[in-house]
Structure 1
């Protein structure tokens, strides 16, 4: 038994997916993904430039392509998940792994999500606040808000690793107030995701999600906005809509996954494995060349 964790757009880098293309089944999946797009994403993953790859309209598509190709590798090796979750846009990959979305519908929805979120325009940004409990960061965010300049906790990534999201002046005020933080890092993202500033993208996204064909999940899915495993299709659909402006409860999510089975980060990233360690949860990364061998030992144990 394994828990599948799918990374989100903050994990993109030039060269992503290269190891997947050495596996014939994964290469075929990447080629099929490209064929469903107006413009293939694989050349951008391979060669960049980075400023285009990190743009929202490309990053979400790129990470999903690698996630689904990595899933193919696990399928080829004979693995099946006991529970799944995805970080932010990774939730679409998780829903595909659980049988809720077809491959084609997953590709279509990630394209819609990326375009809608990119279309909001530059309204703000995101910063990781290190070394403080989430409750303290919530208080700092409340103090840093001003009329028309919101800032909220957007992601609870791990203990001592909280991401705030909001208007740039509010982020600057929060940084000035967070004198006890060990580090504050500006994230290389295009906007204030998982905050009220994404509200303009919600109507179009809600329409797309509600119209998308979905099937009952084969295994429990842990939505970002609840951190609780569920097999209720209505809950999953509404949670997918809510996460556009809602908080990603990732610490709670990995704890829920770890209670069921050891995790594996399904994609070309080591970010979620690192966050899981901070939360004292088990997780291997498929970006580590030795992971498939370790998975075999883990499952045997």
Structure 2
């Protein structure tokens, strides 16, 4: 069985979930989400506008609903994973896939997370540093930060693809130190000390959420180690708000399985997986369930 990988906030686009909404199992998820969330998400996914869709409070909800809809299609076809992981907010989808969170609780948590993170003040951002290993990026970030202007590695996406997160002045200094830096269009400095303001509310929400022992291992962002220990998963879910996404290491656990599936309307994680030598299909391709069925039959 493959690993199921669930994308995060940076994968939103107008029209996302289009083919999924035509599938009966997925449509049930969209309809349930439109009823449970504070405002319907399906129209925003389908028609935008883009500036509203990419805003943190909407983007996290949109990508999560698409993830859960794609999962519903796979399950309707009889596909289950051996291992799950989610990139950033995608970790909530992974916990749902493993049975630790039900649909309603997953949506409640993503709504809380997106609201708390959108409300964080400050002037922070994120940039991708290309072509350098993590230790070098860590050293450059340390050289660029100043008192009151933190800069940390927020995402280890792949070898030579590291994202730093922190204060804008520190990001500007880093851009003069590193050979190739690409600013990212995000609402704030996620996975950094900038998110501490949101942490108390997030911790209360996660600790209050009913969770069950997962049916198969989950790889949390914070530890990058597969586990079914509910206490570990809960603490990791809290800590990842300000902690690092260790995606490169996460992919090492998918490699022995031979293949993985990006479960959402995105091909970003599939690309990162292939860069790590892991064969990966994407549910952005409507033929993926049939391809999986053919492979299971052989």
TM-score range, shorter chain: over 0.9
Number of the residue aligned with 2:260: 263
Is this contact kept in 1: 2:134–2:162, CA < 8 A?
A: yes
TM-fit CA distance, 1:278: 1.2
Contact 1:54 / 1:188 at 8 angstroms: preserved in 2? no
User: How far does residue 292 in structure 1 lie from its aligned partner after superposition?
Assistant: 2.1
* Equivalent residue number for residue 198 of structure 2: 201
Q: Which residue of 2 aligns with 1:216?
A: 213
**Could you tell me how far apart the structure 2 residues matched to 1:185 and 1:291 are?**
32
C-alpha distance in 2 between matches for 1:187 and 1:296 = 37
Question: How do 1:1-301 and structure 2 match up within 5 A?
Answer: 1-179=1-179, 181=180, 184-301=181-298
Greater shift, 287-296 or 46-55, is seen at 287-296
- Say whether the 8 Å CA contact 2:122–2:194 is kept in structure 1: no
Superposed displacement of residue 266, structure 1: 0.2
Structure 1 residue 122: deviation in Å?
4.2
Distance 1:247 1:261 in 2: 26
Deviation, 1:293, is 2.8
Deviations 1:149-200 (A, max 9, x none): 0111100000111111000110010011002x3xx22212101000011111
Local SS of the residue matching 1:81: coil
Which one is further off, 264-273 or 34-43?
A: 34-43
- Deviations, residues 260-292 of structure 1 (Å, cap 9, x unaligned): 352100000000000111111221111123322
Name the CA shift for 1:258/1:298 in 2 (closer, same or farther; >3 Å). farther
TM-score by length of 2: 0.98
Q: Distance in 2 between matches of 1:235 and 1:121?
A: 29
Secondary structure of 2:245's counterpart equals coil
Answer with 169-178 or 113-122: which moved more: 113-122
Query: 1:37-56: CA deviations, max 9, x gaps?
Result: 12101111111111111110
Secondary structure, counterpart of 1:34 in structure 2: helix
What is the TM-score of this pair, normalised by structure 1? 0.97
Q: Aligned-pair distance for 1:299? A: 3.2
Q: Provide the aligned length of Structure 1 versus Structure 2.
A: 298
RMSD between superposed Cα atoms in Å: 1.1
Structure 2 spans left out of the alignment, 5+ residues: none
The answer to whether the Cα contact below 8 Å between 2:98 and 2:217 also exists between their aligned partners in 1 is yes
Q: Please list the CA deviations of residues 72-131 of structure 1 after superposition, one character each: whole Å capped at 9, or x if unmatched.
A: 000000011111000000000000000000100000000000000011124301111111
| 2-structure distance, mates of 1:166, 1:281 | 31
* Residues 194 and 244 in structure 1, CA contact (< 8 A), matched pair in contact too: yes
